[in-house]
């Protein structure tokens, strides 16, 4: 609006260069707006997380990947869980740590038992203590197959 | 009216007969008339429940009200302590009687082989007999928590004699064993935490055949529970060496009654105690200690880092689980220390350490804020440029305002 | 396309709207929040109204210490925007609250950034509100005719405190949970008012359950922000009526056109710096997520939030010889007196001389600081 006076102030600039400078400044400042827009739209894009926010069900994987008599350790914080395919139809989910000294148990496919490597404790597929120092049976978890995928319920 | 009057004596007779039939056999015994305390105490026992009578043990005529007659015949007061075990054994060795209760019938025979049994047979009547541990009249099942033979009461029961200083001095026995046991990890587990898995006196010394385990047996007694430890011990050179030198195996390092939790840091000084300060064995002990110490520190460091990652809202379920596996290797290593060789311990500590290092490496890169800090520097560069532009625009405005 | 035709088009668009909407009235909303502070005549069209405003004398908010109100407005705006974004993911139940915040921090793009800006913006807003009330106290912005401005200022501070308090509870982490429980206990010690507040907040309980948390949530995202917006609006309305100087007889600056643009530029610089500070705090001093709250395990050493330490300290100090409800009543009366300061006998009327004023302010601050330190030590 006061073009004359500014031209007086900066006489060394040609109108073309002045315009270019104005464009540059405007573009530079408008980057802020684009920045904010970018942050907000990326924030609003829903994240593709594998589990729900209050995690109650863990997807362990397809049932066909777990042969009969085999087991898989689901790593879940301090309390990992063993998911065992006991026969063609049935799955068993048991706490993966010994009730004695909190050692992580090993699956013994031959004996069909969960063995503690630390003090020779062992548990059967019902979680009962077979031998050794464990004072309590293992906690059992609910596990089921939905559409061929193993769903482990933790609560 | 008439009918009732006639009926009365008949009803009385029936009642009396019924009462006689319903009353337990012991009710006919008149012993309680003169010995009421014994009667009351007996009534609480398992024997009273199973219809054992006074005369089954004491003989005599239990239904007689005459003092003379009642204590006649085969009466025995059982005040002679030497008679007691045999008398108890007379029923408890009888398979036909005991089968229904699923009780072993060899207890009396075993008792005769024990230190107590042999002493009594030798005329030392102060040695323990059945009633000293099981009670006299009020004998209860050992699984009854109020029984003196219950696993939690056994230390006190044994302590009646084995904690008696003057008595034990006569036999040249240590009167502190009970206090030592109470202070031990076993005693605390049993008496304070009520853990039924913890051993009491009889778990190591035997029940009726109570005898201290000798050299060569100690590892078997301890190994009954500490399987893994014994396996490692038998695999190492200590076992043969100690048997040959007649050193009691486990007890020489862990003591016998006052067994405490053993920190791995004790290993170093322990090796030097027998082998000397600068011996190869002391150096080995130092190495094993260091292996476990370093691995434990690595695992603790990883755990701390996992906590930091959790606070920064990183995914920690998997690393936390892996730290737990590393801890398992460390717990596994403690029994293996009893092989007193470096190789098997190192195998385990190396695994623990590599898990810890993996977790640390993974989390460090995720916790790394240098990208964010670099972004902040760029941000400030842009911010300062913006401010510069705004200041220039303001200056221009001011000069415009002053111009006219 | 020449510049002239572009301008024509723009003005055409402006005129198009201007003849259909009362743009002046809409634009004057900015004046209600100090962004543009010349008074506009709502009956005139926007071009005309602004041209007229330019010719009038104008107060300015862009210089220390009057900038505090403007800062509060901008920080409140930042809190509203970031808070609205966070609300897209936050789930207000005790079981899911922390997990959903963890999701924001971990899985959502720029989630940590929005969360941290929201946190640090709140802390700056609290600081600004406190400094503002202290300034009012020192400069005597409570004497006639500015009684209402004082009350609005103190109430805004109160709203900020409550927003922070409810915001803490919403995180459902160990420290935040117990901090809120302590605050609720403190509120509960005040007779009548306390039990009323407890009833409103938690149905009479001091333990945070699903039902309590949803109340906190509603307060935090709807009622309190609305209260803050209203109070700021009322405050600036007072400024427009009374002018800025405390004496009330101000000779306002009389410069026109460039002053407005210079004012806007000053604001832009100020906001840029503020934003830089916020972003730096968010990146360099991020608040940790915190451990999950367990209502059955007291986290040791957790007291009420820092701004409640003084009343907490007072109650602890008097616990030996005063029943709690008496202490609570004294606190309530003291706070009421503070809000109603302009109507107290000593503070009405004309200025009393700087020494007395200084002493009163110094005494109040000393007592507050002493009690805060005491409260922090007994926690």
Do residues C210 and C336 share a domain? yes
- Say how many CB pairs under 8 Å bridge B and C: 59
Do residues A63 and A23 share a domain? no
Residue C30 is assigned to a structural domain of this protein? yes
State residue C250's pLDDT score. Answer: 44
Do residues A79 and A16 share a domain? no
* Average pLDDT value for chain B: 86
State residue A33's pLDDT score. Answer: 92
Do residues C49 and C182 share a domain? no
Beta pairing class for A113-115 and A140-146: unpaired
Do residues A36 and A63 share a domain? no
B214-228 mean pLDDT: 88
Q: Do A53 and C109 touch (CB under 8 A)?
A: no
Domain of A114, CATH number, reads 2.102.10.10
Do residues C282 and C315 share a domain? yes
Do residues A24 and A100 share a domain? no
Whether residue A103 lies within 8 A of chain B, CB to CB, comes out as yes
Do residues C280 and C174 share a domain? yes
At C249, the pLDDT band (50, 70, 90 cuts) reads: very low
The B-side interface with C (CB below 8 A) comprises 310-315, 369, 372-373, 375-376, 379-380, 383, 386-387, 390-391, 393-394, 397-398, 400-401
pLDDT in tens, B193-212: 888 788 999 999 988 988 88
Residue C278 is assigned to a structural domain of this protein? yes
Q: Is the pLDDT of residue C305 over 60?
A: yes
Q: Is the pLDDT of residue B403 over 80?
A: no
State residue C352's pLDDT score. Answer: 59
Whether residue A80 lies within 8 A of chain B, CB to CB, comes out as yes
Choose the mutation target among B195, B317, B391 for the interface with A, i.e. most A CBs under 10 Å.
Answer: B317
Q: Domain containing C356: what range?
A: 67-245+264-378
Residue ranges per domain, chain B? 223-368, 374-404
Whether residue C114 lies within 8 A of chain A, CB to CB, comes out as yes
Do residues C163 and C238 share a domain? yes
B101-130 mean pLDDT: 91
Q: Which residues of A touch C91 (CB under 8 A)?
A: 53-54
pLDDT in tens, A119-129: 889 999 999 99
At C254, the pLDDT band (50, 70, 90 cuts) reads: very low
Do residues C148 and C292 share a domain? yes
Cα gap C108→B30, rounded to integer Å: 89
Do residues C118 and C152 share a domain? yes
Do residues C198 and C232 share a domain? yes
Nearest chain A Cα distance for residue B364, angstroms: 18
Whether residue C125 contacts residue C75, with contact meaning beta carbons closer than 8 Å, is answered with: yes
Nearest CB to A43: which of C99, C103, C110? C110
Do residues C233 and C92 share a domain? yes
Q: Domain containing A27: what range?
A: 3-44
Residue A129 is assigned to a structural domain of this protein? yes
Residue A139 is assigned to a structural domain of this protein? yes
Do residues A32 and A95 share a domain? no
Whether residue A79 contacts residue A96, with contact meaning beta carbons closer than 8 Å, is answered with: yes
Comparing B248 with A150, the larger pLDDT belongs to A150
Do residues A37 and A93 share a domain? no
Do residues A73 and A133 share a domain? yes
Residue A14 is assigned to a structural domain of this protein? yes
Whether residue B315 lies within 8 A of chain A, CB to CB, comes out as no
Do residues A109 and A137 share a domain? yes
Do residues A115 and A142 share a domain? yes
**Which subunits sit against A, judged by 3+ Cβ pairs under 8 A?**
B, C
C20-29 mean pLDDT: 84
Do residues C149 and C31 share a domain? no
Q: Do C107 and A47 touch (CB under 8 A)?
A: yes
Q: Which residues of C touch B391 (CB under 8 A)?
A: 269
Do residues C72 and C52 share a domain? no
Do residues C28 and C155 share a domain? no
Do residues A108 and A66 share a domain? yes
Residue in C101, C112, C283, C278 with CA at minimum distance from that of residue B369: C283
Whether residue B313 contacts residue C99, with contact meaning beta carbons closer than 8 Å, is answered with: no
Q: Is the pLDDT of residue B382 over 90?
A: yes
**Count of domains forming chain C:** 2
Residue A49 is assigned to a structural domain of this protein? no
What is the interface pTM, i.e. ipTM, of the complex? 0.78
| Nearest residue of C to residue A3, measured between CA atoms | C3
Do residues A64 and A134 share a domain? yes
């Amino acid at each position: 609006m006061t073009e004359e006076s500014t031209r007086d102030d900066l006489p060394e600039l040609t109108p073309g260069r002045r315009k270019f400078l104005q464009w540059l400044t405007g573009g530079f400042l408008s980057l802020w707006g684009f920045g904010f827009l970018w942050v907000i739209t990326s924030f609003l894009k829903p994240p593709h997380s594998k589990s729900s926010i209050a995690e109650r069900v863990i997807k362990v994987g397809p049932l066909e990947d777990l042969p009969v008599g085999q087991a898989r350790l689901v790593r879940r914080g301090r309390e990992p869980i063993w998911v065992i395919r006991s026969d063609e139809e049935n799955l068993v989910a048991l706490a993966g740590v010994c009730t004695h000294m909190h050692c992580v148990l090993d699956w013994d496919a031959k004996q069909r038992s969960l063995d503690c490597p630390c003090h020779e404790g062992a548990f059967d597929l019902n979680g009962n203590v077979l031998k050794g120092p464990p004072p309590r049976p293992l906690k059992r978890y609910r596990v089921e197959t939905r559409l061929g995928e193993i769903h482990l319920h933790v609560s | 009216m008439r009918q009732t009057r006639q009926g009365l004596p008949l009803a009385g007779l029936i009642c009396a007969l019924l009462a006689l039939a319903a009353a337990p056999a012991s009710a006919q015994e008149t012993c309680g008339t003169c010995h009421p305390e014994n009667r009351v105490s007996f009534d609480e026992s398992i024997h009273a429940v199973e219809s054992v009578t006074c005369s089954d043990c004491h003989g005599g005529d239990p239904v007689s009200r005459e003092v003379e007659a009642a204590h006649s015949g085969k009466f025995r007061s059982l005040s002679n302590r030497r008679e007691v075990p045999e008398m108890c054994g007379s029923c408890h060795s009888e398979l036909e009687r005991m089968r229904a209760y699923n009780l072993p019938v060899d207890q009396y025979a075993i008792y005769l082989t024990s230190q107590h049994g042999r002493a009594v047979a030798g005329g030392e009547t102060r040695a323990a007999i059945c009633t000293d541990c099981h009670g006299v009249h009020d004998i209860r099942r050992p699984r009854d928590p109020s029984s003196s033979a219950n696993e939690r009461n056994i230390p006190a029961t044994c302590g009646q004699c084995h904690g008696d200083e003057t008595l034990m001095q006569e036999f040249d026995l240590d009167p502190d064993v009970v206090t030592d046991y109470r202070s031990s990890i076993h005693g605390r587990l049993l008496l304070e935490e009520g853990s039924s898995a913890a051993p009491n006196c009889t778990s190591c010394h035997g029940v009726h055949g109570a005898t201290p385990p000798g050299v060569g047996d100690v590892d078997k007694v301890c190994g009954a529970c500490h399987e893994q430890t014994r396996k490692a011990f038998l695999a190492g050179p200590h076992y043969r060496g100690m048997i040959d030198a007649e050193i009691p195996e486990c007890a020489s390092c862990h003591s016998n009654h006052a067994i405490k939790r053993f920190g791995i840091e004790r290993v170093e000084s322990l090796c030097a105690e027998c082998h000397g300060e600068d011996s190869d064995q002391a150096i080995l002990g130092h190495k094993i200690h260091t292996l476990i110490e370093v691995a434990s520190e690595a695992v603790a460091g990883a755990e701390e880092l996992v906590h930091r990652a959790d606070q920064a809202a990183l995914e920690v379920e998997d690393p936390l689980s892996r730290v737990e596996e590393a801890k398992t290797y460390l717990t596994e290593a403690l029994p293996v220390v009893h092989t007193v060789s470096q190789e098997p311990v190192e195998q385990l500590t190396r695994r623990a350490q590599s898990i810890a290092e993996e977790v640390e490496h993974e989390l460090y890169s995720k916790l790394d804020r240098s990208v964010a800090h670099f972004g902040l520097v760029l941000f400030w560069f842009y911010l300062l440029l913006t401010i510069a532009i705004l200041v220039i625009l303001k200056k221009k405005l001011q000069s415009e305002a002053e111009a006219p | 396309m020449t510049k002239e035709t572009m301008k024509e088009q723009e003005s055409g668009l402006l005129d198009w709207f201007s003849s259909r909407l009362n743009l002046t009235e809409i634009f004057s909303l900015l004046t209600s929040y100090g962004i543009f502070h010349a008074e506009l005549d709502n009956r005139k069209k926007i071009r005309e109204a602004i041209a007229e405003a330019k010719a009038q004398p104008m107060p300015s908010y862009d210089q220390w210490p009057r900038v505090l109100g403007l800062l509060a407005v901008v920080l409140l705006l930042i809190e509203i925007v970031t808070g609205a974004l966070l609300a897209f993911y936050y789930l207000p139940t005790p079981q899911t609250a922390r997990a959903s915040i963890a999701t924001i921090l971990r899985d959502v793009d720029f989630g940590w950034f929005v969360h941290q800006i929201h946190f640090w913006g709140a802390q700056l807003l609290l600081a600004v509100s406190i400094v503002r009330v202290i300034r009012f106290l020192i400069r005597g912005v409570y004497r006639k005719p500015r009684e209402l401005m004082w009350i609005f200022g103190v109430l805004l501070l109160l709203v900020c405190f409550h927003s922070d308090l409810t915001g803490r509870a919403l995180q459902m982490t160990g420290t935040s949970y117990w901090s809120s429980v302590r605050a609720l206990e403190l509120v509960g010690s005040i007779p009548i008012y306390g039990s009323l507040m407890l009833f409103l907040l938690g149905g009479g309980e001091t333990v945070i359950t699903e039902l309590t948390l949803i109340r906190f949530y509603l307060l935090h995202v709807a009622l309190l922000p609305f209260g803050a917006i209203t109070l700021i609006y009322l405050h600036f309305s007072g400024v427009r009526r009374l002018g800025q100087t405390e004496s009330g007889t101000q000779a306002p600056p009389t410069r026109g056109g460039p002053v407005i643009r210079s004012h806007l530029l000053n604001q832009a610089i100020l906001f840029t710096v503020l934003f830089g500070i916020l972003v730096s705090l968010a990146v360099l001093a991020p608040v940790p997520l915190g451990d999950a709250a367990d209502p059955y395990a007291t986290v040791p050493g957790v007291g009420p939030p820092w701004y409640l330490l003084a009343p907490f300290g007072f109650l602890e100090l008097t616990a030996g010889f005063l029943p709690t409800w008496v202490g609570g009543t004294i606190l309530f009366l003291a706070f009421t007196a503070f809000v109603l300061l302009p109507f107290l006998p000593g503070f009405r009327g004309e200025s009393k001389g700087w020494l007395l004023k200084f002493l009163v302010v110094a005494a109040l601050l000393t007592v507050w600081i002493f009690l805060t330190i005491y409260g922090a030590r007994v926690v």
